[in-house]
Chain A
């Protein structure tokens, strides 16, 4: 049996690609990915139309696919995160149908149940053997975990592995097995290593960011959750990583042995593992080279699927075992609803990722954000888009104070008693507006260009077009 096919176009033909099908991708190559663009280009050349692009995330690097919106090769997008010019294009109404957002945990749930039916899954694999046993841990384009691709490989009708490092059979340490793979294509390059993983992930030097991180860790310390067996997740951005740094100091000083850290893994979290802060790392996505190396070499650093990470319909998932998560926000409203989908003008610039999954699953969800970003207060009356419902958000931490969800009275009392600057969220909003002035409302368009599904399957919000 021979699975090797000479190029993507031929593989798509062999898969029986047709108008109106759903084609899926994963985003482990992040802003270095070349495979989505190559595949979409092949689809355009084949003249296929009306496709549903089901990509776990899209980034600035994918801006060439906007031309496939224009010629209606792609008319629907289903994703967890849409960044860069692709988000702007959708906000400007370039996509024929509505885009559909799902969280990272909700996606594999809907793939498994058949609510999303994938006709063809294209898996960018940094290393594969000729039968399709593949992994992200090795090769010049190594990205580490392939967690987001696993449901696609398992449930798609046809699976194409695209690699730039074809090795002889068998690749022993595979993440996706040959049993799920139909075809293997070897190309010169699946992506730009600089965009795939950072060589180092740096902690913010912004003093306000450090202040926010310190307050966030003070909240964790005084929540009563920081004890042996503690479990934790944090992002790779700004204050989140600085929070990990302060948390490590405290855990080492007070000799607290955590159980696991979930992520989005960076070198800083690897340091915490190696310093004994945690027993285990669960890894659905590596952010830097240290994380990739650790995943490869440390048996306590474990690759997990998106389903295992956060699927609401799995028999159980890691998100539900989390004690504390630290998350970001572009906006938060006075009901604690968080927006990570659009910017303050309502233009798509991101998405939930696992935001709403872990906010719901964890015991304590902390939003960290500067109170004011380029003059714009982060607290608004109503967010442009509800990504994560306020009932699952416990604390907002800014450099000028902390707001606790009124549903968590005990927590607010504990934090106040420890001397932290706890305010009503309205009062914090007023502080911001004292500095900035009240922003004038931004007009929204009248056409729905995207809908945001919550992890229970309901439409939690709709995003309108942007009218420049």
Chain B
């Protein structure tokens, strides 16, 4: 388990994109906060995409916030992945 120790973000607030922000927290959990223009229709799908991406990295202790502008799951996954990689940069 690698504990997230620095802030990072990826993506934009343009249409069909999303902005993913990662901040370290004190726990060992990874928490998600999702704001989406299509939350009612796709909120569950967005959460699943984000969780699946996090699973690929052995990380803990992070709050992941996703501000979604109607991005497809493959875009959500890409932005979460980049944000995690950036947060891990320089970490052991």
Contacts and interface: CB of A to CB of B under 8 A. Distances in A.
Interface of A: 344-345, 373-376, 435-437, 439-440, 442-443
State which size class the interface on B falls in. 10 to 19
A415 to B, nearest CB: 29
17 contacts: A345-B40, A373-B70, A374-B37, A374-B69, A374-B70, A375-B42, A375-B72, A376-B41, A376-B70, A435-B72, A437-B42, A437-B45, A437-B73, A439-B38, A439-B41, A439-B42, A442-B41
Q: Which 9 A-B pairs have the closest CB atoms?
A: A374-B70, A439-B41, A375-B70, A442-B40, A375-B38, A437-B45, A440-B41, A374-B37, A376-B38
B72 A436 contact: yes
Contacts of A442: 40-41
A217 B42 CA distance: 34
A344 B42 CA distance: 12
B41 to A, nearest CB: 4
B69 to A, nearest CB: 7
B69 A440 contact: no
A68 to B, nearest CB: 30
B16 interface: yes
Given A437-B45, A440-B44, A374 B38 contact: yes
Interface of B: 15-16, 37-38, 40-45, 69-73
Contacts of B41: 344, 375-376, 439-440, 442
Nearest to B45: A437
Contacts of B45: 437
Nearest to B36: A375
B4 to A, nearest CB: 28
B40 A375 contact: no
A439 B72 CA distance: 12
A344 B70 CA distance: 13
Contacts of B43: 440
Nearest to A206: B15
B20 to A, nearest CB: 16
Contacts of B15: 374
B51 to A, nearest CB: 15
Given A374-B15, A374-B16, A440 B42 contact: yes
A374 B71 CA distance: 7
Contacts of A437: 42, 45, 73
A267 B63 CA distance: 51
B81 to A, nearest CB: 19
Given A375-B41, A437-B42, A437-B73, 7 more contacts: A373-B70, A374-B16, A376-B38, A435-B72, A440-B41, A442-B40, A442-B41
A440 B37 contact: no
A382 to B, nearest CB: 15
A345 B45 CA distance: 17
B34 to A, nearest CB: 13
Contacts of A373: 70
Contacts of A436: 42, 72
A267 B24 CA distance: 55
